[in-house]
Amino acid sequence: MGWDVMEKERLLTRNFVLGTFACFFLTMVFFVYFTGMSMYCTGALGQSSLVAGIITGTFVAGDVVARIVFATKVAVAGPKKAAVAALLVGAGLTLLYFLTDDVDLIFVVALFHGITYGVAETSIFTMVISGLPEARRGEGIGYFMLSNSLASCIGPFVSITLQSTGAFTMMFVFGTLSTVAALALMASSVPIPGVPAESKGFRMSDHFERSSLKVSLIVFIMFFSYSGVLAFVAPYGESIGLGWYASIFFIMVSITTTFCRMFLGKVYDRHGENRALIPPILLFIAGMFMVATVLNGPELLVAGLMIGFMVAMLNTVAQALVVRDIPKERYSVAISTLCIFWDLAFAVGPLAHGALVDNLGYSENFLIMGCVAVAGFVLYLVLVGVPGARMRRSEERVNE
């Protein structure tokens, strides 16, 4: 392989490294606030769990609004400019949490804070993915998403540790410093030119990438199923006498997500989406049924390991798929479309799971979610898997 080709396929560019670390700090902000805000509202402000849930959900709602409204604006401004602007405003908003204990004002701050988070994350994802060589895109996204895996483990740990000591102010300090760190990293990145604005009128295509909808629907269904585990495995473990094992369940998930993102992202590049996704999805389904019928602690931990494969691989491959056949100027819209469905799964999932748990019980909820995952797998085969296999065979015949 010549030097020019090696340079063209290089992964560790300046923007890749800076974007990966910026994503780590930004995701830390999400998990610190998402896991800590409810305890802050009930413990420090004396509000009900309902109010705490609404404020926490408002942050996610702002995130979704940002992805719908600002996706094309990220492309027009360029991902660096959009990220820096969003993080600058976001850093200012985090300071407002120190200055008020008024619930109505916190509600407004959480909404706009979520908007800045959505813009910043879309911008960082767009900058990193647009700089990846097509032949190594799955591998590159896998390495990039290691930042998400680590933050999803460290963020909740920091938040829960600070909550347990009542140090809510330090939680906000941590969130502000993480935002500033992400801002500094993105300010040091190499600018990517924006694309010309096309239309001032409302067009659905400005906010959603149609070609991304099939993959995004699969992501919604599978992570809707997973959100039940995320929300209720801890109380479920307590209810069946496996509280300690439930407390380290997500460490098991993190182990396999980290492994996948380090070593298995290239499976998509070499063999396509079916070999990259079908085994992890089947492991996820088996893991969900294991959680529902678990008899002992080690079995619960093995289920966590199995579930982690799907969490990592679907996350990675979905991002590669939605940008595979579209021009670069549509990357931000495609990624935004995917993330909207992703966020909605975690926004509406816990509400549905809570209703099922109240009426049927934990085990029955997980059984139902296992069946939901089976339906998602069948839909994957119909919408993505079978058409993708046919396309790959056609390309192989053309290249023969």
Tell me: do 43 and 182 sit in the same domain.
yes
Judge contact between 269 and 137, C-beta under 8 A. yes
CATH number of the domain that residue 138 is part of: 1.20.1250.20
For 6-20, write each residue's pLDDT tens digit.
445 677 889 999 999
More confident site: 215 or 267: 215
In terms of residue numbers, what domain contains 46? Answer: 10-195
Cβ count within 10 A of residue 3: 7
Q: Any idea which residue has 């909605």 for tokens?
A: 344
Asked if residue 349 is part of any domain, the answer here is: yes
Q: End of a domain among 195, 225, 255?
A: 195
For 186-219, write each residue's pLDDT tens digit.
999 988 876 665 655 556 666 678 888 999 999 9
Q: End of a domain among 149, 170, 195?
A: 195
CA-closest candidate to residue 23, choices 147, 149, 119:
147
Asked if residue 388 is part of any domain, the answer here is: yes
For 171-193, write each residue's pLDDT tens digit.
889 999 999 999 999 999 988 87
Tell me: do 176 and 220 sit in the same domain.
no
Q: What DSSP assignment string belongs to 52-66?
A: HHHHHHHHHHHHHHH
C-alpha to C-alpha distance for 179 and 63, rounded to whole angstroms: 15
Domain tally for the chain?
2
Q: End of a domain among 166, 195, 224?
A: 195
Tell me: do 184 and 212 sit in the same domain.
no
Asked if residue 200 is part of any domain, the answer here is: no
Judge contact between 142 and 261, C-beta under 8 A. yes
Q: What's the full length of the chain, in residues?
A: 400
Tell me: do 352 and 374 sit in the same domain.
yes
Asked if residue 203 is part of any domain, the answer here is: no
C-alpha to C-alpha distance for 49 and 97, rounded to whole angstroms: 19
pTM attached to this predicted model: 0.74
Tell me: do 232 and 380 sit in the same domain.
yes
Tell me: do 221 and 182 sit in the same domain.
no
Cβ count within 10 A of residue 180: 16
Tell me: do 235 and 167 sit in the same domain.
no
